[in-house]
Amino acid sequence: MQTTLVERDVLERVLGTAMERGGEFAEVFVEDRTTTSAVLDQRRIEELSSGRDRGAGIRVVVGDTTGFAHTADLSERGLLAAARSAASVARGGGGGVREVALGALADHPTRATTQPRDVDKAKKIELLLHADDVARTEGSSITQVQIGLGDSTRRFVVANSEGVFAADHQVRTRFNISCVASGDTGMQTGYRPIAGTRGFELLTMEAVEEAARGAARQAITKLDARPAPSGDLPVVLAGGSGGILFHEACGHGLEADAILKQASVYAGKVGQQVASSLVTLVDDGTVVGEWGYLALDDEGRPGARNVLIENGVLTDYMWDYLRARKEGRSSSGNGRRQSYQHLPMVRMTNTYLLAGDADADEIVAQTPRGVYVAQLGGGQVNTATGDFVFGMTSAFMIEDGKITSPLRDCNLIGNGPEVLQRVDAVATDFSMTPGTCGKDGQSVPVGTGQATMRLTGVTIGGAS
């Protein structure tokens, strides 16, 4: 980083002010974020925008109470005012100033090789138009194409009363294309994203063309879709496609805030068999380049690889600083926030199931009848019970061990703990998918992943 955003001595004085009324812990999070976005809709540029947001969030902790204030004024005066506001929930009296000495700055430079800001807007628009052309060459039934391109550059520094002084520089780039195909049966959609914690080098011509063709072909294929069967059937999840199911149905239930509130079906089950022995579930912020990658979490802790379930046995939960502090343990590097205007909370990074040793084609061949899910959509889950509903946006019948007819959009309905027990085959073809995770009004980028796997039975319903 070219700057720590706020000078070290200023941060020390701000932390001292935050602690002077008896605070047990204080933290300053300073952020500078720039974003650009472009949207091409029916070959017309509908949006071409850029923005910048700078500010600081300050929190003070006393017992179970947290005081928080944020400000866009990064002057010492503005930061001190925010510190006093956050400290207003701290114990009165005591007097005096508590000095805070910060350690050496742990700075993490970006790994991006081509900064998005250095790419000319005309080149970005040219890329969008080319993707549109590629999608439409897949067939005359493609009647609508919409493409989005965006990037963000996020610099932040974290300093706290325990001496943490760390900075990160995150560059993320995304591309997504949606296609609509029209035919005798109506309209169908296809979608493909590309996203990573990388610079513009992520968007190679090959990757963009592959995404455009994939979205168009998905939409065209679904024109011949038939209604999905209903009932409990074996389901084969294609590599990368089902990670979102485990993120939602299992991952959120393994976050320490839900555990400590006894609002998770996994509370109190460390050391117990909670899944098939084929299941090893990992949350890993260290997967370089993936959408959920982070060198530092938003509390200044290094990103980490945390094994949550190993060979079916629950081994640990995900922790941010406050929950870990309460339990007398270390953070797992899962403290994340949407921006300086938000408090950090326990969040996933890249959550995935490790690959197995089966062959993906053999898994299908050994399934006499079932459903092959090529792409999952959004879903809902009750963390207290594990019950979920997920949309299938690209699915096919499996008949006599072969993938056959495409199916209309429908739902997977089940229970997270039960689904984990029903994994009976895991292939080697591991891949990741980018996504956005929403929780308590905050959104953060995450990655999900798995290899092709089979579930012995999941309820199919809600067919359209």
Structure tokens at 147: 């493409």
Q: Tell me which CATH code domain 8-224 carries.
A: 3.30.2290.10
Q: How far apart are CA 162 and CA 143, in angstroms?
A: 58
Q: H or E segment at 258?
A: helix 256-260
DSSP state of 451: -
Pairing of strands 165-183, 106-108: parallel
Q: How confident is the prediction for the chain on average, in pLDDT?
A: 93
Pairing of strands 281-284, 305-310: antiparallel
Q: Whole-model pTM?
A: 0.94
Convert the pLDDT of each residue in 319-372 to its tens digit. Answer: 999 899 989 999 999 999 999 999 999 999 999 999 999 999 999 999 999 999
Q: How far apart are CA 80 and CA 9, in angstroms?
A: 13
Quote the radius of gyration of the chain (alpha carbons, Å). Answer: 24
Structure tokens at 388: 């979920």
Percent of the chain with pLDDT over 90: 86
Query: CA end-to-end span of the chain, whole Å?
Result: 51
Q: What is the CA 66 to chain-centroid distance, rounded? A: 26
- Is the pLDDT at 95 greater than 70? The verdict is no
Name the one residue in this structure whose structure tokens are 């070290």: 8
3-state secondary structure of 224: helix
Structure tokens at 178: 């949606």
* Phi, psi (rounded to 5 degrees) for 319: -130, 140
Enumerate the domain spans of the chain.
Answer: 8-224, 231-461
Mean pLDDT calculated for residue range 106-113: 90
Name the one residue in this structure whose structure tokens are 């959009």: 409
Q: H or E segment at 135?
A: helix 121-136
